[in-house]
Structure 1
Amino acid sequence: MSIIYARRSVRKFQPRDVSEDTILEIIRAAMHAPSAGNEQPWHFVVIKNQSTKEKIAEIHPYAKSVISAPVAVIVCADLSSVKYPGFWVQDCAAATENILLRAAELGLGAVWCGIYPDELRVESFRKFLGLPKDIVAFSLIPIGYPAEKPGTVDRFRKDRLHFERW
């Protein structure tokens, strides 16, 4: 539980590379997320090129942090293989959370930048990355060694807890 409590969104990164082995370990964690019917509808686009990251920051108004991140991962869904329509959103959210948790566990910082369901962002990423028609960009996660350490916050709120009924 300590990693769940300690994980925070990090938007400032050190100018330090993230190894390919570390990136693969993070993607491995993403691929171990639960999915409806074990469908595993995800694909991952890894971005390291600086000019690509700068263009992404132009496309996504809340992702300026991608410019200083040494790597970014875009979680995508393959709608052509969906057996349970609509559940791909939950599947990709679980994969995104696994990326955040594994990155934190490895001493890295990361932040979840939503792409889906904003249609303009989805279409902009489709065009920029050359995604096939059945592939939907879901989230963007800039990742790197943190240049900031946001404090922990206890987010437990008993007033949001209900037993048996509302």
Structure 2
Amino acid sequence: MNNILSRRSIRRYLSRTVAETDIQELLQAAMAAPSAENGQPWHFIVIDDRQLLDSIPRIHPYSHMLREAPVAILVCGETNQEPSKEFWVQDCSAATENILLAAHAKGLGSVWLGIYPLEDRVIAFKEKFSLPDKIIPLALLPIGYPAEEKAPANRYAAARVHKNTW
């Protein structure tokens, strides 16, 4: 519970390399996510090219922290993945959250940068990363060692909980 409740969005990073083994473990955590009918429609692009990371803020207005992050993971979904292609967003969102939680557990920071369903962002990322037609970018996750500390946020709201009916 502590890992879940203390995870925060980190937007500032130290200039310190993230080990390949750590990235591999984040991807293992992602692929351990539940998926509808075990369809596993996810695909991931690990981005560690400095020029590429520095260019992304031109296509995503809230991604300026990529100029500090040593690596990012682009989470994509395969929209024609059977048996349950209608659930790719939920499946890839679960994988995304697993990456965020695993990063936090490893002492790394990250933030969820939304791409889908904003058409301009989807098109821009598809072009920049040469994604096939059936692959849709969902989210971009900068990963790095935090250069900021944030206290846990208590977001529990009893007024949002209903029992048996509204």
Pair in the same fold by TM > 0.5 = yes
Unaligned runs of 5+ in 2: none
Cα distance in 2 for residues equivalent to 1:43 and 1:57: 22
TM-score (norm 1): 0.98
Contact 1:47 1:73 in 2 (8 A): yes
- The residue number in structure 2 matching 1:37 is 37
Mapping for residues 25-104 of structure 1, pairs under 5 Å: 25-104=25-104
Tell me if 1:117 matches 2:122. no
Contact 1:82 1:88 in 2 (8 A): no
Residue 58 of structure 1 deviates from its aligned partner by 1.0
Size of the aligned set, in residue pairs, is 166
Match of 1:155, SS state, is coil
Q: Which amino acid aligns with 2:135?
A: I
Q: Which amino acid aligns with 1:100?
A: L
Q: Which amino acid aligns with 1:68?
A: E
Cα distance in 2 for residues equivalent to 1:114 and 1:3: 22
Cα distance in 2 for residues equivalent to 1:89 and 1:132: 17
4+ long deviations beyond 4 Å: none
Residue 150 of structure 1 deviates from its aligned partner by 1.2
Residue 144 of structure 1 deviates from its aligned partner by 0.2
Cα distance in 1 for residues equivalent to 2:158 and 2:111: 26
Match of 2:137, SS state, is strand
- The residue number in structure 2 matching 1:135 is 135
Cα distance in 1 for residues equivalent to 2:64 and 2:87: 29
Tell me if 1:144 matches 2:148. no
Cα distance in 2 for residues equivalent to 1:65 and 1:82: 36
- The residue number in structure 2 matching 1:159 is 159
TM-score (norm 2): 0.98
Residue 79 of structure 1 deviates from its aligned partner by 1.5
RMSD of aligned residue pairs (Cα, Å): 0.8
Residue 85 of structure 1 deviates from its aligned partner by 3.7
